[in-house]
């Protein structure tokens, strides 16, 4: 499926490209970040998203709960 979209790329128009900073040039439409605070905010949010994704997958695959009285055992030990 990836090979179908390999030749397709999105880029910003000339006007938007001129208004954006060097980091995001030709990446998106519209104005880019105005100050360095904008980059900091985006970096912090990206870090939070990555941490959330990491721990969600980690705890989904390896929950680590060993207590016999945990609520999950009600479902797991129930016999039809």
| 65 belongs to a structural domain | yes
Owning domain of residue 17 = 10-76
| 63 belongs to a structural domain | yes
| 2 belongs to a structural domain | no
| 42 belongs to a structural domain | yes
Q: What is the pLDDT of residue 28?
A: 67
Q: What is the pLDDT of residue 52?
A: 97
The predicted model scores a pTM of 0.56
Mind listing the pLDDT tens digit of every residue in the chain (80 residues)? 555 555 555 666 777 767 777 776 666 677 767 788 988 998 999 999 999 999 999 988 887 777 878 877 777 777 76
Alpha-helical regions (H) of the chain = 14-19, 36-61, 72-76
How many structural domains is the chain composed of?
1
Q: What is the pLDDT of residue 51?
A: 98
**Which H/E stretch holds residue 79?**
none
């Amino acid at each position: 499926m990836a090979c179908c979209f390999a030749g397709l790329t999105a880029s910003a128009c000339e006007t938007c490209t001129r208004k954006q900073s060097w980091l995001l040039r030709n990446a998106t439409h519209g104005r880019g970040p105005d100050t360095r605070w904008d980059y900091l905010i985006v970096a912090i949010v990206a870090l939070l998203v990555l941490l959330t994704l990491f721990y969600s997958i980690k705890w989904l695959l390896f929950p680590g709960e060993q207590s016999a009285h945990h609520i999950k055992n009600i479902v797991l030990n129930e016999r039809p």
